[in-house]
Amino acid sequence: MTLLVRQRGKAVPLPAEAVVRIEGEGAYSRVITAEDSYLMCVTLKEWQERLPAFLRASKQVLVNPAHVVRYDVEKPGRTYFGLLSLTDGSRVEVARRRVETVRAGLSEFRKHRSNL
């Protein structure tokens, strides 16, 4: 799938595979690749509908599972939370209530990828 992003006032095609994560900023979102980022007038909910393979790590972040290099789940005290390490060196915290959903999504993605 190819996304159209705006760069210097022009629509530019961007392969979805190049997107590392998408961060919500109110009614806007920031599409982040390893090389650049693009501010878009698209909500995370809309991105989630367009990119169903991406995982909702929290209220503010969608993550491309192809760019996850490590997923840690920790239990400091009595609550669980997850931490994703991505190919661009960034780390994304996974909301408590999304820990199992993200784990299952990553497992499904890896299983699907290994069958190719």
DSSP 8-state secondary structure symbol assigned to residue 115: T
pLDDT band per the 50, 70, 90 thresholds, residue 77? low
Q: What is the pLDDT of residue 114?
A: 75
Residue range 98-108: mean pLDDT, rounded: 92
Task: Give the domains, in start order, of the chain with CATH numbers.
Answer: 2-114 (2.40.50.1020)
Tell me the backbone φ, ψ of residue 58, rounded to 5 degrees.
-160, -175
pLDDT tens readout for residues 12-60 = 899 999 999 999 988 999 999 999 999 999 999 999 999 999 999 999 9
pLDDT at residue 78 greater than cutoff 70: no
Q: What is the SS3 string spanning 60-92?
A: CEEECHHHEEEEEEECCCCCCEEEEEECCCCEE
pLDDT band per the 50, 70, 90 thresholds, residue 76? low
Q: Which residue has the tokens 């799938």?
A: 1
